[in-house]
Amino acid sequence: MPSGKKYLILSEPCSLKNLEEFYIYHRNRDELYEVNQEGFDFLKLCDGTGKQEDLGGDKKFLKYCLREELLTLLEKPVKKKIILSQTSKPSLRYLELQITDKCNLKCRHCYVGKPRNQEIDLKKIFDICGQFERLQGLRMIISGGEPLLHSGFWKLNDRLGSYQFRSILLSNGLLLTSEVAKRLKVQEVQISIDGIKDSHDMLRGKGSFRAAMKGAQNILKAGIDLSIATMIHPYNLDDFDRMESLFKGMGVKDWSVDYPAFTGNLEKNQKFFLQPEKAGKFLSYGFGAGLYESTGDFTCGSHLCAITPDGEVCKCSFFIDQSIGNIYNNKLLSCWKKLKHLKLEDLNCRSCKYLKECKGGCRFRAYLEGDPLGADSVRCAAFGVKRG
């Protein structure tokens, strides 16, 4: 059949996103492709029910979309649901959904603290997923606790592939057997690795490094993108070069290095706390884009919010004591609109030459240091900025 007689459809992992600009989002590649108004209007017609010859469109643009596998040609019509809506600005792109606080570890630095065996009702989780999808969301970050311990996890897992956002599972890795990895419907799994063997086990428990690394290998063998998260602490400082070599050699997609907030279990295990001026230089490690990012002139977390296991919505999972509404009696959009998004010009460190690069650092760390508009001392140390 001539290509002009075939039906045009957005490729299965692709969806249109009406954010600050117009985009095609490829959730398997985790890539945004910016398009103009004309291209976006054309793509809205590509729902699998119209023939190429009837839809028209710029030939060069069409050729590009087919080459990049953003569009697919079909022999027979198959309708695809195109979900679009007007979003608030800044747009809600990343949602961390803490589906449970149940955990099979007692990490000495965990900000969650002592679990209360809470979990979000499965029906409500599906409702949240639908709301996030309609809000043009990009990444659903499924966390805990250990999310695999949620009583309805596998029912959630079986539905994840039907949503037009990227699903990312945050796990300690211990439950990620070969069989579990093969069943997962997520596009990415992030596992916490906080050092090489002993330095990891000191923080998370004896034998946890070996188990987490086995889980990581199972994820890679299952063909799922793997990312790693590492927290800086006094006992892993000599491991960073080895971790970098190890993770790159494994084929890890992203390696995020961060500094733990002095809250939760860390307050009771202060020997794992490292002074910011010593920790800062290790933030230069890591690679990849990470789970979320800010755009424009906004500070860290401008496109992110989190939902706790009891349904409270907050600006990120650290700000659990500053709820902007409960998801059981508020819509996600109404909560998002209540959230104050700080601009770089609002910060006391707005004159710093590194501001646009560091985005003001972590707002929660600044909050803990007593000044919500102040600088993040760890990021200052990373850039070699002396604080008076």
CA distance 320 to 317: 6
Tell me, yes or no, whether 378 lies in a domain: no
Same domain, 215 and 292: yes
Tell me, yes or no, whether 130 lies in a domain: yes
User: What are the per-10-residue average pLDDT scores of the chain (388 residues)?
Assistant: 88 97 97 97 97 93 97 97 91 97 90 86 98 98 97 98 97 98 98 97 96 98 98 96 98 95 82 90 94 91 95 92 95 95 94 92 89 92 84
pTM reported for the whole predicted model: 0.95
Same domain, 141 and 224: yes
Two tokens, residue 64: 């590009």
Q: What is the pLDDT of residue 388?
A: 57
Single-letter residue type at 66:
L
Same domain, 60 and 105: no
Longest Cα–Cα distance of the chain, Å, equals 72
Tell me, yes or no, whether 375 lies in a domain: no
Same domain, 100 and 166: yes
Residues 6 or more apart whose Cβ sits within 8 Å of residue 232: 257, 258, 259, 260, 274, 279, 282, 283
Same domain, 11 and 108: no
- Lookup result for tokens 């117009």: 22
Q: What is the pLDDT of residue 71?
A: 98
Three-class secondary structure of residue 98 per DSSP = strand
Q: What is the pLDDT of residue 265?
A: 82
Q: What is the pLDDT of residue 116?
A: 86
Query: Domain total for the chain?
Result: 2
Same domain, 289 and 175: yes
Same domain, 250 and 137: yes
Count of positions (residues) in the chain: 388
Neighbours of 146 (CB within 10 A): 22
Residue 148 per-residue DSSP state: G
- Domain with 41 in it: 3-74
Q: What is the pLDDT of residue 77?
A: 96
pLDDT in tens, 84-93: 998 888 999 9
Residues 6 or more apart whose Cβ sits within 8 Å of residue 18: 40, 84, 85, 86, 87, 136
pLDDT in tens, 171-223: 999 999 999 999 999 999 999 999 999 999 999 999 999 999 999 999 999 99
- Let me know if 364 is exposed, middle or buried by CB neighbors in 10 A (0-12, 13-18, 19+): buried
CATH number, position 220: 3.20.20.70
